[in-house]
Amino acid sequence: MPDLKAPLLFVDDEPAFRSLIVERLSENGFEVTEADCGEKALQLLEQVAFDVVITDLRMPGDIDGAQVIETAIKRYPGIVGIIITGYGTVKDAVDAIKRGASDFIAKPFQFDELMHVLQKALEQQRLKQENAYLRSQLDERYSMEGILGKSPPMQALFQLLDTVASSNSTILIHGETGTGKELVARAIHHNSSRHMHRCVALNCGAIPETLLEAELFGHVRGAFTGAIGARQGRLEQAHKGTLFLDEVGVMSAALQMKLLRALQEREFERVGDNQTMKVDVRIIAATNSDLVAMVQAGTFREDLFYRLNVIPIELPPLRDRREDVPLLVHHFLKKFAASSSTKVSQKAMRLLMAYSWPGNVRQLENALERAVALTAGRDLIDLGDLPPEIQALPEEISHPTVELPDEGLNLPQYLAKIEQELIYKALDHTGGHRTKASDLLKIRRTTLVEKLKRMELAKK
Ligand SMILES: Nc1ncnc2c1ncn2[C@@H]1O[C@H](COP(=O)(O)OP(=O)(O)OP(=O)(O)O)[C@@H](O)[C@H]1O
Ligand SMILES: [Mg+2]
């Protein structure tokens, strides 16, 4: 539905037709202004910031509908412009779309058709604006719909989500356990035009094979032992929305075949029924198995794989994006800690960043929940609060290590280089503030200045 009383400009030279449409549009919640020619329309566009302009293409006078739309878009880039065409002018309408009109409708039409075109265009416009908003937020906050990440692969993922969400394409998400597959699937649904409808999840791995088919497609009464009444399947429940098929890798060959058909034809039968049902569902599938290998081994249908893998999304394991660990740690601290002053000690953070996280973000989340519980009011999370497997990391990981090359090294030069690097880092950290930098390095300010001088000299 349009915003309450969205201002709309309707332009047509035929008085009877115009007043009819204007009346119906007003009944449908628009604040309509009318114009009988292009010149008048341009005049009105100067005065009012319309949300929508609907205009006839051919009109008497020098200004045609395409020009009206073009001027409107130039002045209000977010405006929705719809062209009305008569016979034989569809090609011109297509040209107008290339120049920025949202859609066109051919005369004669029913009012409902116009409303349909209009609502579709408004929805698209809304999504575009929302995506732009999300993008602007990303820059600042490294997050999208509760998915956090500043690492390059996560930033790339956000961009991808931004573009694929509004499409209707089937998506296959691949990633290790706990990498956020379900989180991502739901984010896509929320950012799609289907968000008003349901996102129904079915975890194929959690349901016995014998019941999975009925769960997916539904069943009629008496379809199998225990099928007391008829039941809708998840596919039907997701009509107009999204079906999230988790762990698709575990389906039997027979069920893979049936799913393939449902994907291809968007139709299926309930178990025990011979009546065919049609559904309009977007599928997002997820797996932590290597489906390509399964296709090669003959345990997963190749044609089904291609049907699902229209847009592949790969979620990187946490150990491949360790720079996201501090961000996630702070996020989960905020979630679990009673006090906002709760911190993680440097040593503990070093270990959290060094650990390999086989259970990925979920494991990190659990580790922090546990750590917060163990601190029992203390506001510093330290080594002893971390799970044993993380504490058990070899000692050297929490200290910098150097290798001694076989050919040996020049110790004074080597140490000077490390010293120089740490001094630059400290200055970087404090924005060039020498007193603060010397505090960080636990040396006197005069010593730091002395060292800087020597470094400058050494450069010359
Ligand atoms: N990038 C992220 N930012 C914030 N939270 C995340 C992120 N990735 C995962 N999580 C959180 O980690 C937990 C696991 O995520 P999710 O259930 O989506 O993983 P999954 O890939 O579906 O795992 P599995 O394969 O085990 O089903 C959830 O609580 C989720 O909110
Ligand atoms: Mg999952």
Q: Is the CB of 316 inside a 6 Å radius of any atom of ligand 1?
A: no
pLDDT attached to residue 99 = 78
Domain membership flag for residue 153: no
pTM over 0.85? The answer is no
CA nearest to 69, candidates 100, 26, 40, 48: 100
pLDDT attached to residue 13 = 94
Q: Is the CB of 365 inside a 6 Å radius of any atom of ligand 1?
A: yes
176 C-alpha to center of ligand 1: Å? 10
pLDDT, averaged in runs of 10, over the chain (460 residues): 71 94 94 94 88 92 92 84 82 80 89 93 81 55 82 90 87 96 94 89 90 92 80 91 95 93 91 91 96 96 95 94 90 85 86 91 96 88 92 64 74 87 84 89 91 79
Give the mutation target among 155, 172, 179 for probing the ligand 1 site: most ligand atoms within 8 A of CB: 179
Ligand 1 atom closest to 181 (CA): 21
For residue 99, what are the CA distances in angstroms to 66, 72, 106, 124, 283? 8, 11, 18, 17, 33
Domain finish residue from 265, 290, 315 = 315
Q: Residues 362, 452: one domain? A: no
pLDDT attached to residue 38 = 95
For residue 200, what are the CA distances in angstroms to 240, 249, 300? 11, 18, 23
Q: Residues 173, 307: one domain? A: yes
Domain around 237:
160-315
Q: Residues 180, 203: one domain? A: yes
Q: Residues 166, 47: one domain? A: no
For residue 420, what are the CA distances in angstroms to 404, 428, 459? 20, 12, 12
pLDDT attached to residue 317 = 95
202 Cβ contact list (under 8 Å, min separation 6): 215, 216, 234, 243, 244, 245, 246
Q: Residues 107, 217: one domain? A: no
pLDDT attached to residue 399 = 52
pLDDT attached to residue 68 = 95
Q: Residues 451, 364: one domain? A: no
pLDDT attached to residue 341 = 82
pLDDT attached to residue 119 = 92
Q: Look at ligand 1, atom 24, and give the residue with the nearest C-alpha.
A: 177
Q: How far apart are CA 327 and CA 323, in angstroms?
A: 8
pLDDT attached to residue 226 = 78
Three-state DSSP state, 314? strand
Q: Is the CB of 368 inside a 6 Å radius of any atom of ligand 1?
A: no
**Strand ranges, E, within 248-407:** 267-269, 276-278, 282-287, 311-315, 343-344, 380-381
Work out how many domains the chain is built from and give that number.
4
Cβ burial 90-106 (10 Å sphere, 16+ → b, else e): eebbeebbeeebbbbbb
Ligand 1 atom closest to 324 (CA): 1
In sequence order, the β-bridge partners of residue 81 are: 53
Cβ burial 278-299 (10 Å sphere, 16+ → b, else e): ebebbbbbbbbeebeebbeeeb
